[in-house]
Structure 1
Amino acid sequence: MDVLEYIREKERSLRTRINNFDLKNTSDTHLRQLSYFISHSLNNTLNNSWVSKIHLFFDSSSDRELQGVKNPKVIAFYREWQARIDQEVFLGDWVAIDQSRIDRFAEVTGDRQWIHTDPERARAESPFGGTIAHGFLILSLLPELTDTVNPKKPPYPKARMVVNCGLDQVRFPYPVKTGSRIRACTTLKSLVPSKRSVEIVNQIQVEVEGSNRVVCVADSVLKLYF
């Protein structure tokens, strides 16, 4: 029963109670006036446009989003995960960022800037007191940090394929010093279902062990196919 139907049911019940009092034949003027006021107010309220639309505010958002979707796996996944929006859905393990990892990333990408690859100069000249990781190195570790590439423990086991669609609003608020350990926390932001897939947006925050500072924030966009 939606809200509009509920209101009408209560209105019918109230009218029945009023009629049972046989107010038309009563000699109490005030009681007859009360009867007229209640009846008139109910008619005005039920004919008001906002009442006819009020169910839109209480209608399940999942039902609206799923209009036209017939794939039962898409529907089941969307309804299960829609309840988790704005909730933490994953907290990863700590991963060490040592100089060896930084050097290998520099070799692959060609970014050999001294603040990343020259420990002696970094200790002498860098305001960080040593080398720091590339921001893009931290970004490239998101699949590992969020455990989304673990074939033995996939985060979305019912999906037959997961496609990385990109990142939104990537920021590196603070640097990661060499020797630090980092981990990622994932919060579900939104879901958009379609005929064969569900698009997921997760906010990922990477933090440093022993500090309250967040070193990377990014919205990850994934598409799950069923």
Structure 2
Amino acid sequence: MNVVEFIREKKEHFQQNNAKFIAQLEPKFRDLSDKLNHKITNTLNNPWFSRFNPFEDEQNEEKPLIQTAEVKKMYANLEKKIGEETYLGEWFIIDQSCIDQFAQVTGDKQWIHTDPERAKKESPFRTTIAHGFLTLALIPTLTETVDPEKNPYPEAKMIMNYGLNQVRFPVPVKSGLRVRARTRLIGLVPMKRSIEVVNEISIEIENSSKPACVAETVLRLYF
């Protein structure tokens, strides 16, 4: 037997054994798969699991549904205001103390924010400026949504900050200037146990034609 024939014979032998091995394993894997599918199905159908389904919120988001009369009434009232300005806040001074406290908490202590003397000489603004994120962080205060006595959604048991769609900082706020917030309702999404509210918040600077910040905020109102 030459080398070529030997290799061919071994190859055929290996293929035959491999086929037998696969044939023996297939029924075992098939049986294991059937058992696994059966257990998963039973688990998903279990009343306890369905009650605490971790994917429930995602499913509800795909198929928004208002269930209670209270939520329906609130949604109907808000829907009438879409596109309208719903709030105009009071003026708020962003002074150096406010800027310094934010710098201390966040660790952003760049001289353009924290060194008035250097900023006066080297900054194009000739003074220190507030952090963009400080302006953004002031939105709850400027819109008074954290004031329990001026709650814009008193019917809701709880209000949660769900996030932001987009944020822009057209111009910086110089230290010592006053700012205020304007709120415009731009979107609503009915959920199973809540209403998602999208507001456009504009942070105005006193005596400036451009805003310091424009952000779309997303709130969840729970009932």
TM-score in same-fold range (> 0.5): yes
1:78 counterpart = 2:83: no
Distance between the aligned counterparts of 1:98 and 1:190, measured in 2?
34
Report SS of the residue matched to 2:181: strand
- How many residue pairs get matched? 161
Check whether the contact 1:170–1:219 (CA below 8 A) recurs between aligned residues: yes
RMSD of equivalent CA atoms: 1.2
Q: Give the structure 1 partner of residue 137 of structure 2.
A: 140
1:207 corresponds to which letter in structure 2?
Answer: E
Q: Give the structure 2 partner of residue 154 of structure 1.
A: 151
Given the two structures, how large is their TM-score scaled by the length of structure 1? 0.70
- Aligned match for 1:202, one of 185, 199, 202: 199
Please state how far the C-alpha of 1:195 moved relative to its aligned partner: 1.8
Report SS of the residue matched to 1:214: coil
Please state how far the C-alpha of 1:70 moved relative to its aligned partner: 2.3
Q: Report percent identity of matched pairs.
A: 57
- Aligned match for 1:188, one of 185, 188, 195: 185
Check whether the contact 2:165–2:216 (CA below 8 A) recurs between aligned residues: yes
Report SS of the residue matched to 1:123: helix
1:186 corresponds to which letter in structure 2?
Answer: T
2:141 corresponds to which letter in structure 1?
Answer: E
Please state how far the C-alpha of 1:211 moved relative to its aligned partner: 1.4
1:165 counterpart = 2:135: no
| 1:53-72 alignment runs, 5 A limit | 68-72=65-69
Q: In 2 relative to 1, CA 68–214 (structure 1 residues): closer, same or farther, beyond 3 Å?
A: closer
Please state how far the C-alpha of 1:153 moved relative to its aligned partner: 1.5
Q: In 2 relative to 1, CA 159–129 (structure 1 residues): closer, same or farther, beyond 3 Å?
A: same
Deviations 1:96-134 (A, max 9, x none): 000011001101110000000000000000000110000
- Aligned match for 2:122, one of 117, 122, 125: 125
Please state how far the C-alpha of 1:210 moved relative to its aligned partner: 1.2
Distance between the aligned counterparts of 2:173 and 2:64, measured in 1?
45
2:208 corresponds to which letter in structure 1?
Answer: S
Distance between the aligned counterparts of 2:70 and 2:189, measured in 1?
14
2:211 corresponds to which letter in structure 1?
Answer: V
Distance between the aligned counterparts of 2:83 and 2:69, measured in 1?
24
Check whether the contact 1:185–1:206 (CA below 8 A) recurs between aligned residues: yes
Distance between the aligned counterparts of 1:169 and 1:195, measured in 2?
25
Distance between the aligned counterparts of 2:123 and 2:188, measured in 1?
43
Please state how far the C-alpha of 1:67 moved relative to its aligned partner: 8.0
Please state how far the C-alpha of 1:68 moved relative to its aligned partner: 4.6
| 1:19-58 alignment runs, 5 A limit | none
Distance between the aligned counterparts of 1:195 and 1:117, measured in 2?
47
Runs of 5+ consecutive residues of structure 2 not aligned to the other structure: 1-62
Check whether the contact 1:102–1:137 (CA below 8 A) recurs between aligned residues: yes
